[in-house]
Structure formats: structure tokens, C-alpha cells
Chains A and B, each alone.
Chain A
């Protein structure tokens, strides 16, 4: 079966454009980023706005938008350049621009945590995070949890305990519980309950999520 991501263009058209004031000019961007002629070569090399460029901005300000500009995102251990507008959320950058549709957008308001990803191993709502605020951070999504060869023990435990029904909350639930296991190898059921207190599951699979997470904690401790 072909990878569905292959059918998604690497750089899709912006969702909407404001013609007339669309986009930042390349010159304006470079000026704002404080890059000189020498810096231009650097930018061509890294292909996008980075935390280094942010740190080097001459007066502590980089201005861009409302049109798209290239930015550098670090996702699942790899560097990606995406052309995004300032209003693009991290969830949109991941799903639409990078084709990583494992992250689900459900409420789009930070209420349900279905869109949970890690920013430097800290679970956050990607729907309420602007993609530009992920620059300079390590983003981990559900696609980055397992490798081709080895399923993450928590995902194996979710399968074993049948910890899902419709599955829509599952990627967020897994990312939340995996983040808990990263910082607490000995969670109690209370700890798991507390960790997922923002993750809504309308099917009501919570008891199995708790069991799967506690089971995976044991597996990881014995690994």
C-alpha cells in the first residue's frame, strides 16, 4: 500500500491568502532576521527561519507575515523546512504541511488534548501552539514514538489491553501517557489519572488506558 503521505505536496498552497499584502519579501525577511550577505548563504544552507536566526536578530525583533515564510522545524529527530504563515498552528504544520496526520485535531481549542505532541518531551496542545513557537524545540509526534523495527512498549500495551474504541483520542492519549512514563518510571494509577485529566475519551476507555500505562511502566522498568 502506498504511503498516503506521498500524495501530499511538500509545500501546499496556503489555506487562504491575502493578496496585496501577502507574504514577506525575501529581502524583508532577511533584513528582519538581521542576516547580511554572508548570512544569506547561511540561510540558503538551512532553508528557513531558525532559533539561531531569532537569537541573532539585530534589535531583538524579527518581523514576518501575514504571508508564508520558510521556517525550520525539528520533528521526530529530523529537520524539516515548512512554508507557513504566522497563524499556522503546530497541528496544521504537522498535518497539512508535513503530512503527519497521526496527530488529531478534535476540538481545536485546547479542551480535549486529542492533538497532544511533545515540545522537548513536555506534552502540549498542538492546536493552541503556533508553529513558529515550535522553532528551536524538539517536536515529537505519535509517528516518532515507535521505530520501523520496534513498537513503543506503551503502544504495545494499548493493543494488549484494548485501550481504545473509536481511536480518535488515542494518539493524544498515548503521547500524554508516554510523556508521563518519560518523567516518572513508577507512576501510580492516580498519577496516570492526573496526567490524562485533560484528554477526553468519549468512548470511556479510561480504565484500560490506566491499565495499559501501568503495564507499560513495568515493561519499561524491566527493559
Chain B
């Protein structure tokens, strides 16, 4: 790992004052140290926010819930109120990475982790996302890559928490010392590679995530998240599904279906949602939603299997959310 200096901060104001001269923010450090050890980033100055107490913790409010961005994935998945009312979020945070990493990794860091494309992650391959003009995945090994909405970079969205938080309609509060606060939806946080390949999120160098706001679910809401991987633990998803259903009796008033490992930025599937809205949740409607979730997909040379896997992930997670199927024993984590 390269040598660097560090500004160890204990308050938000202190951290904001240090965000200058290409300083890089370190929270849990899991993804940042990984990138530094792999040599794809070599910042000379870090701003350590890990000890900023005001950015950590879960607060229940009249509007829903406020997550401090430094709250760890383990703290979120173990929190009783979240397990009861935001199952999708408990599932997503509780099945990411390994138990030890969940003890260290923060939810803010999980949202901002870089894509896991093995070409991007190798210092030997200077690709589009590193500011060069080529992608190695289209002609190379692309079995874990995107099947839709990829443009010039078929990496996939790596954050499980984003799949859950997008489903819940969460927003992220960003704070800058100069410009104050602004609030963005989860989808708006990310930049598609074609718009700007080297800038993964809209967060400016002088901004910090200072809160994640999760609205209170409407009455009758049920939710779930499941991911499928090559390994039972540690690995990122090869297919995943977040499902939020607003039920009125047996009828689904409104459905939100989210996916991470299909595209470079976390997505909602309007087609799959339409297949459930106004209908009962059963084998037939859940299957239809699964099928529609990959409509329009254009797989690469090695990942057509995702056209079969995503529909199954969505179908089973819809039924899991509705309480009509148990958690899939073949799902990862």
C-alpha cells in the first residue's frame, strides 16, 4: 500500500474542512484499502471519518428512519426495528460479504464502493473507468458482467444496500462546507458510465454523506432481498433482487422491484412492477414479474445464464416478500 498522510477527524465540521487537495475519505476502509492494496488508487492524503460519532447510529423518526452513514452493515442487519419493518434492508446488509467485513464496513461505504469488474480492479488493465478508451470485458471474460443498460462499460452495481435502499425510496443527504446540504435519491447518486466513466457518483470532492433517510413504509408493506452467487459467502451477487410490496388484503397495490448485478447502476424494473400492481401475489404473477425483469436484456458472450437466473431471483423474492415461500436455501449468504 502506498504511503499517505491522514487527517483523523472527530466531527463532521472537521472532516468537511479537510476535504481539499485530492484528499480521499476513509470510513470503514474496506473497499478503499482494497483498491489501494491493488494499486489502482494511490491517494497521498486520507481524511479518516471512522471516529466521527455523530455519523454513526440508527434513529427512528416520525417520517421513518435516519441511518448514520458510518453505521455498520452488522449493526443494521441486527437492529430489531429494521428486521421487523425493513426486511429488505436487513436481508441486504446481513448477506453482504462476510460476518467480519459486516462488522467493519459502513453502509455509506457500501453505497460508494467501486465496481468489482476484475479488469477495473487490476492495475494491469487501464480501462475506460480509469480514463482510457477501451473496455476489456466485452472481448474478454465477462461472465459476471451486466446484461442491460451498460453502454460502454458492462460492470455491475456492487452495493447490496443500494438495491434495498432504492426499493425503500431512501434518500441520501450530502453536506458541503461551502454549499450546505442537498438530498438525492439512491438512483440519482450514481452516474452511468457513458455520462462520465471515471466519476462513479455525483458526490463532489468537498461533500460527505451525512445521513441516509429511509421513509416509513406504507401500511401493509412487506419486503425481501435475496442474492445469488457462485459462493455461499463473501462473494458479490451474480443476480439479486429487492422486492417491496404494498399489500391491501390479497391485492398488491404497488410493487417496487430492484436489481443490482444486471447493470452498471442499480435499477428498478418498471415492467416487473407493472406485472404485480393491482394483482394478487401468486405463482403466476411472481413468475410473470421475473420474466419481465430481464426484458430487453442483451447479454454478453459469457453471461446469458443471467437471463435465467434473474427471473428466478425476482420470482422467488416476490413470493418470499409476500410470505408465500421460504427463504431460498440456494441463495447466497
Give me the interface of A with B, judged by CB distance under 8 Å: 16, 18, 54-55, 57, 59-66, 85-87, 89, 108-111, 113, 116, 119, 122-125, 128-130, 132-133, 176, 194-195, 197-198
Judging by beta carbons under 8 Å apart, are A129 and B8 in contact? no
**CB within 8 Å for A128 and B34 given contacts A86-B46, A113-B100, A133-B48:** yes
User: Are B6 and A116 in touch, CB under 8 angstroms?
Assistant: no
User: Are B3's CB and A87's CB within 8 A?
Assistant: yes
Residues of A within 8 A of B330 (CB): none
- Nearest-CB residue, chain B, relative to A66: B3
Contact check: which of B2, B6, B37, B48 meets A109 at CB < 8 Å? B37
Known contacts A133-B48, A197-B232; is-contact A63 B101 (Cβ 8 Å) = no
Given contacts A87-B2, A128-B29, contact A61 B98 (CB under 8 A): no
Instruction: Flag B72-105 by CB within 8 Å of A: 1 or 0 each.
Output: 0000000000000000000000000111110110
Residues of the B chain whose Cβ atoms lie less than 8 Å from the Cβ of A122: 103
Look across to chain A and name the residue whose beta carbon is closest to the beta carbon of B99: A198
Q: How far is the CA of A113 from the CA of B99 in the complex (A)?
A: 10
In the complex the two chains form, what is the Cα distance from A86 to B100 in whole Å? 22
Label chain B's interface by main secondary structure.
mixed
Q: Which of B315-333 contact A (CB under 8 A)?
A: 333
In the complex, A45→B44 CA distance in Å?
Answer: 31
Q: Is the CB of B100 within 8 A of A124?
A: yes
**B residues near A197, Cβ cutoff 8 Å:** 98-99, 232-234, 333
* Number of residues on chain B facing chain A (CB within 8 A): 38
| Given known contacts A64-B5, A133-B29, A125 and B104 CB-to-CB distance under 8 angstroms | yes
Name the residue in B2, B3, B7, B333 with the highest tally of chain A Cβ atoms < 10 Å from its Cβ.
B3
A-B contact count (CB 8 A): 112
- Residue B10, interface by CB 8 Å: yes
Say which residue of A18, A61, A89, A133 sits within 8 Å of B14 (CB atoms): A61
- B residues 1-56 in Cβ contact with A at 8 Å: 1-11, 13-15, 17-18, 26, 29-30, 33-34, 37, 44, 46, 48, 50-51
Chain B residues within 8 Å of A108, by CB: 37
Query: How close is A141's CB to chain B, nearest CB, in angstroms?
Result: 14
30 sample A-B contacts, Cβ–Cβ < 8 Å, listed by A number: A16-B3, A54-B10, A54-B51, A59-B14, A60-B11, A60-B15, A61-B9, A61-B10, A62-B8, A65-B3, A66-B4, A86-B5, A86-B46, A87-B2, A109-B34, A110-B34, A111-B234, A113-B98, A122-B103, A123-B103, A125-B101, A125-B104, A128-B34, A129-B104, A133-B48, A194-B99, A197-B233, A197-B234, A198-B99, A198-B234
